[in-house]
Amino acid sequence: MKLLIKNIGILGGIDHDHSVRLCGEAMRRFETLASAYVLVQDGVFFDFGPMNQLDELLPHMGDVDVVDAGGGCVLPSWCDSHTHLVYAGSREQEFVDKINGLSYAEIARRGGGILNSADRLHRMSEDELYEQAMCRVREIMAKGTGAVEIKSGYGLNTADELKMLRVIKRIAATSPLRVVSTFLGAHAVGREYAGRQSDYVNLVVDEMLPAVAAEGLADYVDVFCDEGFFTPAETGRILNAAARYGLRGKIHGQELADSGGVQVAVEHQALSVDHLESMTEADVALLRESDTMPTALPGTSFFLNMPFAPARRMIDAGLPVAIASDYNPGSTPSGDMKFVVSLACIKMRLQPAEALNAATLNSAYAMGLSDSYGSIALGKVANFFITRPIPSVDFIPYAYTTPLIERVFLAGREVCLQSQLIT
Ligand code: NIG
Ligand code: FE
């Protein structure tokens, strides 16, 4: 089964080197080819090149479906390496509370925030939870996301954490998105354990993790390692336990305070450490010696009116940086990766090329997927979208609210946008 995309105005995100991730200066290279074609076979990129070579190749291609890109731009689909998109209902009341001056931490202390979502999730059936999450999945596919990480963490007891993870598994089985699943039992202390945080950590280690591992429900393990949530020591304990099941960490660290999240993530060879709004120079030095991907979540800083992670400083220091949406009901109810790319440029001073790499190849790395997703490279899964004609790839973050995507292809198959996706 072959698919030819012809008349591509700009083909972007080409990576001949099959890089696993891009660090520092290399992030400025987002290779493009003007006037191009792409050939997909059996769901992977099989060939690409300049349009003026196509006439010669066409007679040898055999049976092939042809799509005319009409001069539009083709980019690898966004990779969104950090979301909480399985959740029940919404929390716009807290949005209003924030406008009225309450901080995220204050709302959490009053029993709102994560615990509010846990209560709602507890009351909702698994089927309803799945249906609500699938609306968000369709929304992000229409906006160009092709691979996504989804966390649990609104269950906060064994049964409800398993319920969330089963919903994530069902999304993976029923949507064309590539889905990575992360167990985040240590997102907050569940209500029944109020005031007994160490007992709750015991529950995560002794009951939740073995149950999650027994059902094969998670690819990674996350801990909210931050002031007012879990300590580095508790995080280390959970990561040690996870390692015994072959599960690597993806840590929430240093959002609210300089609370040791980066150090514990690096010490335990976590795949990524995310948020980083409160990171320090010492953290930059630690990350430089590690394989851990620092991941900024600019949508969260924007929505909460908080400082942004120092991504510019990190890249200038030679680090790789990924960006992701953090789609969740409390701190950023949006999975719009194009807007996240714009925010990275506008608020964190990334060059468009750096932000595009951060949202594709580096965010694929932050899910352990960069060998097969995140760039246009031969043999990689053919996840891509076609935009309307645009003057350059810089136009994508510049036109920061214009919907540019016209067609979406995942594993080489077109995903229907208008009627089915936008709900
Ligand atoms: O990544 N920081 C921790 N957890 C989420 C927010 C979850 C919520 O408020 O529901 C985040 O921002
Ligand atoms: Fe998060």
The tens digit of pLDDT for each residue in 112-139 reads 899 999 999 999 999 999 999 999 999 9
**How far does Cα 191 stand from its chain's mean position?**
28
Q: pLDDT digit string (tens) for 263-294? A: 999 999 999 999 999 999 999 999 999 999 99
Q: How far apart are CA 293 and CA 366, in angstroms?
A: 6
**Token output for 109:** 């202390």
Answer whether 248's CB lies under 8 Å from 221's CB.
yes
For the ranges 154-163, 178-187, 247-256, 412-421, which has the lowest average pLDDT? 412-421
Instruction: Find the helix or strand (DSSP H, E) in which 109 lies.
Output: helix 104-109
Query: Residue 390: its pLDDT value, please?
Result: 98
Q: Does the pLDDT of residue 408 top 80, yes or no?
A: yes
Can you tell me the mean pLDDT for 20-32?
98
Answer whether 123's CB lies under 8 Å from 172's CB.
no
**Token output for 250:** 């993806």
Query: Residue 103: its pLDDT value, please?
Result: 83
Q: pLDDT digit string (tens) for 210-256? A: 999 999 999 999 999 999 899 999 999 999 999 999 999 999 998 98
Cβ 330 under 6 angstroms from ligand 1: yes
Q: pLDDT digit string (tens) for 65-81? A: 999 999 999 999 999 99
Q: In percent, how much of the chain has pLDDT > 90?
A: 91
59 Cβ contact partners less than 8 Å away, ≥ 6 residues apart: none
CB under 5 Å of ion ligand 2: residues = 326
Instruction: Find the helix or strand (DSSP H, E) in which 396 lies.
Output: helix 395-398
Q: How far apart are CA 135 and CA 132, in angstroms?
A: 5
Answer whether 312's CB lies under 8 Å from 284's CB.
no
**Residue bearing the CA closest to ligand 1, atom 5:** 331
**Token output for 393:** 């790839």
**Residue bearing the CA closest to ligand 1, atom 1:** 326
Q: How far apart are CA 376 and CA 19, in angstroms?
A: 11
Query: Residue 420: its pLDDT value, please?
Result: 47
CA of 116, closest atom in ligand 1: 10
Confidence class for position 419, pLDDT limits 50, 70, 90: very low
SS3 category, 321:
coil
Query: Residue 416: its pLDDT value, please?
Result: 82
Number of other CB atoms surrounding residue 419 within 10 Å: 7
Can you tell me the mean pLDDT for 334-351?
98
Amino acid at 321: V
Residue 275 CA, ligand 2 centroid: distance in Å: 8
Query: Residue 418: its pLDDT value, please?
Result: 53
Instruction: Find the helix or strand (DSSP H, E) in which 275 lies.
Output: strand 272-275
SS3 category, 202:
helix
Query: Residue 423: its pLDDT value, please?
Result: 39
Cα–Cα distances (Å) from 123 to 91, 113, 118, 126, in that order, read: 15, 16, 9, 10
**Token output for 43:** 């769901």
Please name each of the domains of the chain with its CATH number.
2-77+373-415 (2.30.40.10), 78-365 (3.20.20.140)
**Token output for 16:** 């001949």
For the ranges 12-16, 112-116, 120-124, 361-365, which has the lowest average pLDDT? 112-116
Answer whether 275's CB lies under 8 Å from 298's CB.
no
**How far does Cα 406 stand from its chain's mean position?**
22
What pTM did the predictor assign? 0.97
Query: Residue 421: its pLDDT value, please?
Result: 47
What are the DSSP calls for 171-239, one per residue? HHHHSSSEEEEEEEEETB--GGGTT-HHHHHHHIIIIIHHHHHHTT--SEEEEEESTTSB-HHHHHHHH
Q: Does the pLDDT of residue 108 top 90, yes or no?
A: no
Q: What is the mean pLDDT of the chain?
A: 96
Residue 51 CA, ligand 2 centroid: distance in Å: 42
Q: How far apart are CA 365 and CA 157, in angstroms?
A: 30
User: Which residue of 86, 97, 114, 222 sits with most ligand 1 atoms within 8 Å of its CB, as the best mutation to test the pocket?
Assistant: 114
Query: Residue 422: its pLDDT value, please?
Result: 45
Instruction: Find the helix or strand (DSSP H, E) in which 413 lies.
Output: strand 413-415
Answer whether 156's CB lies under 8 Å from 185's CB.
yes
